[in-house]
Amino acid sequence: MIEGARIYHAAHNNDPIGHIYDILEYNHAFEAVAKWVDENSSDDHEILLVSTSDHECGGLALSWQCPEDQTGDYAWCPDVMFNA
Question: 21-43, pLDDT tens digit by residue?
Answer: 888 998 999 999 999 999 998 88
Asked if 64 contacts 77 with a C-beta cutoff of 8 angstroms, the reply is yes
Ligand-binding annotation for 3, yes or no, is yes
Non-local CB neighbours of 64 within 8 Å, separated by 6+ positions = 74, 75, 76, 77
Res 35: pLDDT: 95
CA atoms of 16 and 64, how far apart (whole Å): 11
Distance from the Cα of residue 32 to its chain's centroid: 18
Any binding-site annotation on 15? Answer: no
- Residue 55 is labelled as binding a ligand: yes
12 is in an annotated binding site: yes
- pLDDT at res. 59: 58
Whether the per-residue pLDDT at 13 is higher than 90: the answer is no
pTM above 0.85, yes or no: no
